[in-house]
Amino acid sequence: MRNAAIMALVVGLGAIAVPEARGDVPPRPGDQERLFLNLIEASGHACGQVGSFKSATSSDAETYTKAGLDAFTVECTNGKTYLVAIAPRRPGPPQLDPSGKPITSPAPEVKEIEK
């Protein structure tokens, strides 16, 4: 009887805790690469496959950061390099304009970088 009561308590607490357990789940392997590939090809550029990506550090990147976007340098396997600026993954609460309406996130941008 006592073991059954303890088991019911553990199961009940587990059922309550699981829906409340939230955290920042990192993207699955390959998700970021697929996102960059889709954005590059949707903007009319050829890529084929994303070879690598890293946070961008150029002056263009600073411009996009000021506009509320995260900038990345993406190298494709076809030898082309792109600057891809996307909305932050975890943007937080929406920013409001002076009238109190939410400001929408800027659209992603893709720019080919000449080597």
Choice between 12 and 108, residue whose per-residue pLDDT is larger: 108
Give the E-state strand segments of 9-78 in sequence order.
50-55, 70-76
Asked if residue 86 belongs to a domain, the reply is yes
Residues 86-94, mean pLDDT to the nearest whole number: 78
Are 80 and 47 spatial neighbours (Cβ–Cβ below 8 Å)? yes
Highest mean pLDDT, choosing among 5-9, 18-22, 45-49, 105-109: 45-49
Give the integer Cα–Cα distance in Å for 61 and 83.
8
Highest mean pLDDT, choosing among 3-7, 18-22, 36-40, 86-90: 36-40
Structural domain boundaries enclosing 63: 29-113
Asked if residue 13 belongs to a domain, the reply is no
Count up the domains in the chain and report the number.
1
Asked if residue 47 belongs to a domain, the reply is yes
Asked if residue 78 belongs to a domain, the reply is yes
Asked if residue 98 belongs to a domain, the reply is yes
- The distance of Cα 93 from the centroid of its chain, to the nearest Å, equals 15
Asked if residue 94 belongs to a domain, the reply is yes
Q: Specify the pLDDT at position 41.
A: 95
Out of 29-43, 52-66, 83-97, least confident range: 83-97
Asked if residue 24 belongs to a domain, the reply is no
Q: What's the longest Cα–Cα distance across the chain?
A: 74
Residues 6-24, mean pLDDT to the nearest whole number: 60
Pairing of strands 109-113, 70-76: unpaired
Asked if residue 97 belongs to a domain, the reply is yes
The number of residues making up the chain comes to: 115
Q: Count Cβ atoms below 10 Å from residue 43 Cβ, excluding itself.
A: 15
Mean pLDDT of the chain: 82
In single-letter form, the type of residue at position 58 comes to: S
